[in-house]
Amino acid sequence: GAGVSQSPRYKVAKRGQDVALRCDPISGHVSLFWYQQALGQGPEFLTYFQNEAQLDKSGLPSDRFFAERPEGSVSTLKIQRTQQEDSAVYLCASSLARSYEQYFGPGTRLTVT
């Protein structure tokens, strides 16, 4: 079956611009996660949804970061007024309810110039 998909795959933004990153999880997966991966580092947790409820947003680095999943399927990560330190790969993962097995998408590489 289809895996997790993310779009766009690459995004270049000028400093100060707003960006929106999309994640389509595996059909039927209740849990959805966003991670940020800096170059040469492991993924770092940003936020977590169970269906449409955002249960944990403790990893969001600032109030410029906002995530939503209004219908419990597709999710959007929005970054307002992008800064150079926001440059990273943003990974989305999904899993079944009460399962630790997370399946990752290919990521969106964001470059802020």
Write each residue from 3 to 22 as x if it is in contact with another protein (CB under 8 A), else as -, in one continuous string. -x------------------
Which 8-state DSSP code applies to residue 9? Answer: S
Q: Any contact of residue 91 with another protein (CB under 8 A)?
A: yes
Q: Is the peptide bond before 25 cis (omega within 30 degrees of 0)?
A: no
Interface with another protein (CB under 8 A), residue from 7, 26, 45, 73: 45
What span, in angstroms and rounded, lies between the C-alpha atoms of 50 and 98? 10
Interface with another protein (CB under 8 A), residue from 42, 63, 71, 84: 42
φ, ψ (nearest 5 deg) of residue 30:
-80, -40
Q: Any contact of residue 1 with another protein (CB under 8 A)?
A: no
Token digits of residue 11: 């995004």
What span, in angstroms and rounded, lies between the C-alpha atoms of 56 and 94? 15
Interacting residues with another protein (CB under 8 A):
4, 31, 33, 40-45, 48, 55-56, 59, 91, 93, 95, 98-107
